[in-house]
Structure 1
Amino acid sequence: METQGLKKITVIGGGSWATALVKILSEQTHVQIRWWLRSKTDIKHIRNFHHNPSYLSDVYLSPKKIRVYEQVSEALKGSHYVILAVPAAFIQESLAGLQPRHFEGKVIVSAIKGMIPGVNSLVTDWMTEAFAVDLAHTCVIAGPCHAEEVALEKQSFLSIASTNQESAEDFARLMTCRYVQAKALGDLYGVEYAAVMKNIVAIACGITHGLGFGDNFQAVLVSNAMQEIGRFVSTIDPRERELASPAYLGDLLVTSYSQFSRNRLFGNMIGRGYAVKAAQLEMKMIAEGYYATQSIMAINENQKVFLPITQAVYDILYGQQPPAAAIEELKKHLG
């Protein structure tokens, strides 16, 4: 018999962020986690040894609360919440073969800080288009928060955004534990776009660091980036929002400066002379900002927002412009 009040939560994805979210959720008393991972080897290891061998391998994964699945459709059965935690570039492949009925009656939570390449769509919008998920039944998880610090149980903060305040507050309670505080917000699009764009900024920060720029320039770059994000988000979804709050500025800062930021690492490699493909291969992880740069520039063809930092990153990653020349041009627009 199902325990009264038991919340069934499906997590889709097997990376470091998915593993960190599983860890946070497993701190709750009345939760059953249904976890789908692509790797059958990792699934077998988790079942036998209760650790993810590929990511955050020191994190203990309670077999009492966590069930791992090889079929995503099986992992979705009976769930109240579905957390999407795969790179945006792989979400279509991960959900291939599913139908709108698989998501009926569930709240869809995007933990993906990227856009769907090719279609240039936010994950929440794509779920509405592809699976008829009502936007009011979607949430977004933003930071400032890195998976590696969750694994170490360092104090962290999450922002849960939704057009449905009740859904945001309910899920924020599930994501709150002794080392994580979660707060509900009503600005779904603002938080989601800001989470996408801060990865582009982190690449820019990494590039300048790789080129030998110091803290002074990084501070100017990040402060200008917050203005750039504000201009873009206000154009896409005009409303009152406090951009200095953790969901916007906080998430931008941690991604731009942290040693754990894969987007900053990717940019740093580019600044040091790596070709894009070489940097991607050596990292063995997805830098969401790479795809996001192209998506934001495509959207901005119609919006015409002044985005000098995004433009500079695009010119380097997609236009083969030398990083030093692109940053020299960018300097003219900062201040």
Structure 2
Amino acid sequence: MFQQPILSPKNNDDLTEISVIGGGSWATALVKILTENKIKVYWYLRRQVQVEALNDEGVNPDYLSFVKLDTNYLQASTDLHLVLQQASTILFVVPSAHFPTLCSAIDPELLQGKKVITSIKGTVGEDNVLPSAFVANYFGIEAFRQAVLAGPCHAEEIGMGKKTYMTICSPNDAFLEQLKPCFLSRYLSINLHTDICGIEYAAIYKNVVGLVCGMAKGLNYGDNFMAVLVSNAIYELQLLLDALHVPDSRIACSSYLGDLLVTAYSSHSRNRSFGELIGRGYSVEQTQNAMSMVAEGYAATQGLYQTAKDLGLNMPIINTAYRVLYNHMAVTSEFKLLERNII
């Protein structure tokens, strides 16, 4: 619990303080970057044991526990409303499936006049909307007061200080320029982008690709097949972006293709790990129980499948993921079908 009294919201131009909502590995990596840049972080986590360890030792015992955070720039709490009151900029870093429940616990008045950053890589709610659209609809936060953080970034490598490139996206150029120094560091380069829709859909789609690549690995497909699978995934992503009329969707840039590739191939990818267990014969429930972290691609599959259906798109990789994960079709037979539907 914070020691100081509840504060009034800070000036909207003051980005020396940010409230972070979410306690997983990606949230921990982002807090590492912010505190290294001397940004005061007020951090909401659900578990008291995490809060105590962070406030006392600067360590998240559950995620990236090898990372030591600067407690001079960190105050953690299990009091959601108190954390939201501390800063004029809020960063949401939670699984997409949990986001509606979290938002239902928030008094919308607490976000009035504030800016919101999301780093949520899945569609949200029964209507399968983008996280930015959900924030706009639920809290009335206009697009110019929003930003999105995108990859290609693995939390583990940020924790180790390995060279990484991050994309910050917002239609508000002034907000982008305010955010850039908050995340720029000796190991982190920042790209700025103005189209939230395309970046969010790319971030969601790449997690599904990671799942399917993991399934292929679990089924003992080789590098030759994987290359064709990823090539077709790139084509599917471009097909999706074109159907959504995303402007300036340069597929070869890091926030599109780079994010897709690292999720498809990296051993750090939890989506790839999830898919690999499915490919080895685990059920969805067994796989979820075996993993300590959420694989966003599972929920993202359902949302993207419906989006593709609504757009009239034929996307064999999305279809394969959906049929295996939600229709409980045999992964071996679905991949035999996929073999005939990719080129």
Whether TM exceeds 0.5 here: the answer is: yes
Q: In the alignment, what sits opposite 1:232?
A: 240
The partner residue of 2:67 within 54, 59, 62 is 59
The partner residue of 1:310 within 295, 315, 318 is 318
Q: Which amino acid aligns with 1:115?
A: T
> 1:237-257, CA deviations, whole angstroms, 9 ceiling, x for partnerless residues?
342321100000000011111
Matched, 1:77 2:85: yes
* Alpha-carbon distance, 1:6 to partner: 5.7
Q: In the alignment, what sits opposite 1:298?
A: 306
Q: Give me the whole-angstrom Cα distance separating, in 2, the residues matched to 1:157 and 1:115.
A: 23
* Alpha-carbon distance, 1:152 to partner: 0.5
Q: In the alignment, what sits opposite 2:42?
A: 34
Indicate the larger mover: 145-154 or 107-116. 107-116
Matched residue SS, 1:121: coil
Matched, 1:327 2:335: yes
Spell out the pairing of 1:124-143 with structure 2 (5 A cutoff). Answer: 124-143=132-151
**Structure 1: where are the runs of 5+ without partners?**
none
Matched residue SS, 1:166: helix
Q: Provide TM-score, normalisation by structure 2.
A: 0.94
Spell out the pairing of 1:1-335 with structure 2 (5 A cutoff). Answer: 7-29=16-38, 31-335=39-343
* 1:169 and 1:183 in contact (8 A); partners too: no
Indicate the larger mover: 236-245 or 131-140. 236-245
* 1:13 and 1:36 in contact (8 A); partners too: yes
Q: Give me the whole-angstrom Cα distance separating, in 2, the residues matched to 1:237 and 1:138.
A: 20
Equivalent residue pairs, number: 334
* 2:198 and 2:246 in contact (8 A); partners too: no
> Please, what is the CA RMSD of the aligned residues?
1.7
Q: Give me the whole-angstrom Cα distance separating, in 2, the residues matched to 1:145 and 1:5.
A: 26
Sequence identity, in percent?
36
Q: Give me the whole-angstrom Cα distance separating, in 1, the residues matched to 2:246 and 2:198.
A: 9
CA 1:5 to 1:295, structure 2 compared with 1: closer, same or farther past 3 Å?
Answer: closer
* Alpha-carbon distance, 1:284 to partner: 2.3
* 2:197 and 2:246 in contact (8 A); partners too: no
Indicate the larger mover: 118-127 or 243-252. 118-127
* 1:117 and 1:292 in contact (8 A); partners too: no
* Alpha-carbon distance, 1:71 to partner: 1.2
Indicate the larger mover: 47-56 or 16-25. 47-56
* Alpha-carbon distance, 1:45 to partner: 1.6
Q: Which amino acid aligns with 1:288?
A: E
Q: Which amino acid aligns with 1:215?
A: D
Indicate the larger mover: 125-134 or 291-300. 291-300
Q: Provide TM-score, normalisation by structure 1.
A: 0.96
Q: Give me the whole-angstrom Cα distance separating, in 2, the residues matched to 1:201 and 1:215.
A: 15
Q: Give me the whole-angstrom Cα distance separating, in 2, the residues matched to 1:119 and 1:38.
A: 26
* 1:99 and 1:131 in contact (8 A); partners too: no
* Alpha-carbon distance, 1:5 to partner: 5.8
* 2:148 and 2:196 in contact (8 A); partners too: yes
Indicate the larger mover: 66-75 or 97-106. 97-106
Q: Give me the whole-angstrom Cα distance separating, in 1, the residues matched to 2:249 and 2:82.
A: 39
Q: Give me the whole-angstrom Cα distance separating, in 1, the residues matched to 2:43 and 2:223.
A: 41
CA 1:136 to 1:49, structure 2 compared with 1: closer, same or farther past 3 Å?
Answer: same
CA 1:214 to 1:83, structure 2 compared with 1: closer, same or farther past 3 Å?
Answer: same
* Alpha-carbon distance, 1:99 to partner: 2.7
Matched residue SS, 1:167: helix
Indicate the larger mover: 124-133 or 108-117. 108-117
**Structure 2: where are the runs of 5+ without partners?**
1-9
Q: Give me the whole-angstrom Cα distance separating, in 1, the residues matched to 2:178 and 2:238.
A: 28
